[in-house]
A and B are shown apart, each in its own frame.
Chain A
């Protein structure tokens, strides 16, 4: 579904990603892990067109998307929930959700999207006339995920959905992500907490200093504490756990 091939990218001449290759298959939840500054967000921003890649290619459902502008992505079926939710703070919850449908949405698709959003997060229905900036952190994250879903994407990119949330909110958001996935939406998410990321995902990648150092099925990665050691202690990748590419 999503195929990132040997992508290098960066900002202002500073290279962040070095020939990164990952893929997400239809129906999967894939986690992207790694320490701060390892290039997780840069990789996700490359997929959604927020930054231009230097080399390599990104394919979505077999089509090249790496030259498309960011505003073309929801039309392709890819939605991106940015880090720290990034709601429009001065607008109401309802306005934020409506914007999720894209600027050319029909009334019908907005109504349909709202129905789904309220079914997933009933709380948002109660808060729909409230200014988004007045919601709690967890509520804002829910609103951001719901906004991302408004365009009925086939792939949802979520950057650190659990950051700053209470344990209660974490499990509510994780439950929602599973529900979204059960409805047929593939998910690529960034998460620093290894246990959280592995329990939620079917596959995971570890990014370190702009390179994929490990990738595989989340179940296999849970074995032992290899994963933690790799990205905490900067240990080299053991030969037993090989990078799963292609």
Chain B
């Protein structure tokens, strides 16, 4: 095979990898801060893809232009889910938390199907359609945008979480909520922030994805399943882990799709997951 083809494959793998990573980071952030698994995470992705698509279909606004708005919208949506739903079940048992977000998943999927129908919708002829030719390299523009957009978003997130005072408070609340509260940190607000940021990550991923992937009510399940694998692979609650695992998975599935068969592209991903879970149950960067 030619070097050019390999570069294209790697780029596409990294692009998908960063999108998986962004979804997984949102999931792991919420889990890491408050020990709640958001089972409706994939449906957050579905919503943001619909938002991108509808803005495009209604106003002709390109997904890349509406990305910041979708991210902001999802941030607010994340806050609402926390304040109206999750916060109310936190006093209850673990089961009530699981059923609350699971119920939200079912509700959002059904609502999408009710309003939008089961049809597939795709953004066609957006700014990022077509390819970019760099020398002899032919790079699909949407994937290129995914690499640039998702890696930028991840960089901003890293800066926010690891370099700012707010991020420090967020990490403090996730490591020891009681100690954090004695240091003046409003833990409840940190929980809300984690939901907001987690949902905004998915909003960015959904916007980037809508350039080259159709949206339908069950689209979230496909990506969130991979995101769960990335979270488990990287270690529950670890942002570094979710990033590294997301990129590994992206590369693995693209290479497997090319060299083995596109139908079997996720087989090596789940195989790797099984091996890691067996050999190192806490994942690559997880704590026991």
Residues of A bordering B, CB below 8 Å: 48, 50, 69-75, 79-80, 82, 86-91, 95, 98-100, 102-105, 147, 151
List chain B residues, Cβ under 8 A from A71.
181-187
Among B169, B179, B185, B187, the most chain A Cβ lie within 10 Å of the Cβ of B179
Known contacts A71-B187, A86-B176, A89-B175; is-contact A98 B182 (Cβ 8 Å): no
Closest chain A residue to B186, Cβ basis: A71
**Which of chain B's residues has its CB closest to A150's CB?**
B183
Interface contacts beyond A74-B184, A99-B168, A103-B183: sample of 17 additional A-B pairs, CB < 8 Å, sorted by A: A50-B181, A69-B186, A71-B183, A71-B185, A75-B184, A80-B182, A82-B178, A82-B179, A86-B179, A88-B172, A88-B175, A88-B179, A88-B180, A102-B183, A103-B165, A103-B186, A147-B183
Q: Which of A69, A82, A99, A147 contacts B169 (CB 8 A)?
A: A99
- Chain B residue with minimal CB distance to A151? B184
Residues of B within 8 A of A82 (CB): 178-179, 182
**How far is the CB of A165 from the nearest CB of chain B, in Å?**
19
Q: How many residues of B are counted as interface, with CB atoms below 8 angstroms from the partner's CB atoms?
A: 19
Q: Are A91 and B184 in contact (CB under 8 A)?
A: no
7 contacts between A and B (CB under 8 A): A75-B184, A82-B179, A88-B179, A91-B175, A98-B168, A151-B183, A151-B184
Ordered nearest first, which 7 A-B pairs have the shortest CB separation? A102-B184, A86-B179, A70-B181, A74-B184, A80-B182, A88-B175, A103-B169
Give the chain B neighbours of A74 by CB distance below 8 A. 182-184
Is the beta-carbon distance between B187 and A50 smaller than 8 angstroms?
A: no
Contact present for B184 and A50 (CB under 8 Å): no
Q: Do the beta carbons of A48 and B182 come within 8 Å of each other?
A: yes
Residue of B whose beta carbon sits closest to that of A157 = B182
When chains A and B are docked, how far (Å) is the Cα of A105 from the Cα of B183? Answer: 11
- Residue with the greatest number of chain A CB neighbours at <10 A, chosen from B165, B179, B182, B287: B182
User: What B residues does A73 contact at CB under 8 A?
Assistant: 182, 184
A74 to B185, CA, bound (A): 10
Are B178 and A91 touching (Cβ within 8 A)? no
B178:A86 contact, CB within 8 angstroms: yes
B215-249, CB < 8 A from A: none
Please give, as numbers and ranges, the residues of chain A lying within 8 Å of B176 by CB-CB distance. Answer: 86, 88
Chain B stretch 26-81: residues in CB contact (< 8 A) with chain A: none
Interfacial chain B residues near A89, Cβ < 8 Å: 175
Tell me which residues across on chain B come within 8 A of A99, comparing CB atoms: 168-169, 172, 180, 183, 185
Contacts known (A70-B181, A82-B179); A88 close to B171, Cβ less than 8 A: yes
| Contact B186–A91 (Cβ < 8 Å) | no
Cα-based distance from A69 to B183 in the complex (angstroms): 12
Instruction: Compute how far the CA of A98 lies from the CA of B185 in the bound complex, rounded to whole angstroms.
Output: 12
**CB within 8 A of A100: which of B165, B183, B186, B187?**
B183
State A79–B183 Cα separation when bound (angstroms): 7
In the bound complex, what is the Cα–Cα distance between A156 and B67 (angstroms)? Answer: 48
- Which residues on A sit within 8 Å (CB–CB) of B166? 103
Nearest residue, chain A, Cβ from B187 = A71
Chain B residue with the shortest CB-CB distance to A73: B182
Q: In the complex, what distance in Å separates the CA atom of A79 from the CA atom of B181?
A: 11
- Complexed CA–CA distance, A70 and B183 (Å): 8
Alpha-carbon distance A6/B187, docked complex (angstroms): 29
Using Cβ atoms and an 8 Å threshold, which residues of chain B touch A72?
184
A27 to B179 Cα, complex, angstroms: 25
When each residue 175-201 of chain B gets 1 if its CB lies under 8 Å from chain A and 0 otherwise, what string results?
110111111111100000000000000
| Best-buried of A50, A70, A103 by chain B (most CB within 10 Å) | A103
Q: Chain A residues near B186 (CB, 8 Å)?
A: 69, 71, 103
